[in-house]
């Protein structure tokens, strides 16, 4: 039903500090900016940094993951070393975890890869996409039912069933309140968007669990039972 993550918005108390972090540490270049919001293209997704000046606000303490080019782990270690990243081996790829100035846990996932033709590891370029977002939820069963109705499929569960990983146009993790790797927490009042062939049908699919619905930018925006905002926009 959903074909692409179109945006992820983060709340930034100080927009200048947030901009410096994502531009200096991650090589992002702004495509749009105002006094209240700046938007960075990351492959087919916009990362939006937003001052708390309206509704929806950006997410607080959101854990999300950038994808990086294979073979760039050493370069990313060097780029992020001043932030003292925590590194985790998932078998086949490794992730580095750091925190931005607003307390969001930013993961960089790097698949194993070969050095270039000269035998040197490739440089770390800008991230190649966003492959994971973590939402904090009050009741895991209800939240899972909400997002599986949109076509996400469960692929992994925590041993205590306090979290579930869902796969769709990207990976969506639903966590009941807890600390994860690198002491990350799931985001609250997160604002995300998805592309879909029929925004109205997508909103209808979750009508049982949403607390608000409105038309916006040619699409439909809903607020789920945990206060997360989800926007559906039509495919081109």
Q: Give me the pLDDT at residue 207, please.
A: 98
- Mean pLDDT of all residues in 59-83: 95
Please give the pLDDT value at position 124: 62
- Percent of the chain beyond pLDDT 90? 86
* pLDDT tens digit sequence for 22-45: 999 999 999 988 899 999 999 999
Contacts of 130 by beta carbon, 8 Å cutoff, 6+ apart: 5, 8, 42, 43, 45, 47, 64, 65, 66, 67, 170
What pLDDT shows up at residue 217? 85
The residue ranges of DSSP E strands in 18-126, in sequence order, are 32-33, 37-42, 45-50, 63-68, 86-89, 93-99, 105-111
Q: Which DSSP state fits 188?
A: B
Which pLDDT value is given to residue 222? 98
- Whether 129 shows a pLDDT value over 50: the answer reads yes
What is the C-alpha separation between 7 and 99, in angstroms, rounded?
A: 20
Residue range 167-195: mean pLDDT, rounded = 97
Instruction: Supply the pLDDT for residue 114.
Output: 56
Q: Are strands 163-167 and 153-157 parallel, antiparallel or unpaired?
A: antiparallel
Do residues 184 and 194 touch, judged by C-beta distance below 8 A? no
**Residue 37 near residue 108, CB atoms below 8 Å:** no
**What pLDDT is attached to residue 123?**
56
Tell me which CATH code domain 2-188 carries: 3.10.180.10
Answer yes or no: is pLDDT of 116 > 70: no
CA angle 106, 107, 112 (to 5 degrees): 160
CA–CA separation, 12 and 30 (whole Å): 15
- pTM comes to 0.93
Mean pLDDT for the stretch of residues 120-147? 88
Q: Which phi and psi angles does 104 have, rounded to 5°?
A: -80, 140
Phi, psi of 147 (to 5 degrees): -85, -25
Percentages of the chain per state (helix, strand, coil), in multiples of 5: 20, 40, 40
């Amino acid at each position: 039903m959903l074909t692409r993550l179109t945006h992820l918005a983060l709340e930034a108390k100080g927009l200048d500090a947030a901009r410096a972090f994502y531009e200096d540490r991650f090589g992002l270049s702004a495509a749009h900016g105002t006094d209240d919001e700046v938007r960075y293209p990351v492959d087919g997704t916009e990362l939006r940094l937003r001052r708390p000046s309206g509704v929806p606000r950006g997410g607080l303490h959101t854990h999300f993951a950038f994808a990086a080019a294979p073979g760039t782990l050493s370069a990313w270690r060097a780029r992020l070393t001043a932030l003292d990243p925590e590194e985790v081996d998932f078998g086949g790829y490794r992730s580095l975890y750091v925190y931005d100035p607003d307390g969001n846990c930013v993961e960089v996932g790097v698949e194993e890869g070969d050095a270039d033709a000269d035998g040197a590891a490739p440089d770390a370029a800008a991230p190649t996409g966003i492959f994971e977002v973590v939402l904090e939820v009050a009741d895991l069963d209800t939240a899972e039912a909400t997002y599986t109705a949109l076509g996400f499929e469960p692929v992994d569960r925590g041993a205590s069933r306090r979290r579930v990983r869902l796969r769709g146009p990207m990976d969506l993790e639903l966590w009941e309140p807890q600390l994860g790797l690198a002491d990350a927490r799931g985001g609250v009042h997160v604002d995300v968007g998805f592309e879909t062939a029929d925004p109205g049908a997508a909103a209808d699919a979750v009508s049982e669990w949403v607390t608000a619905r409105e038309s916006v930018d040619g699409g439909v925006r809903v607020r789920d039972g945990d206060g997360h905002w989800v926007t559906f926009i039509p495919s081109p």
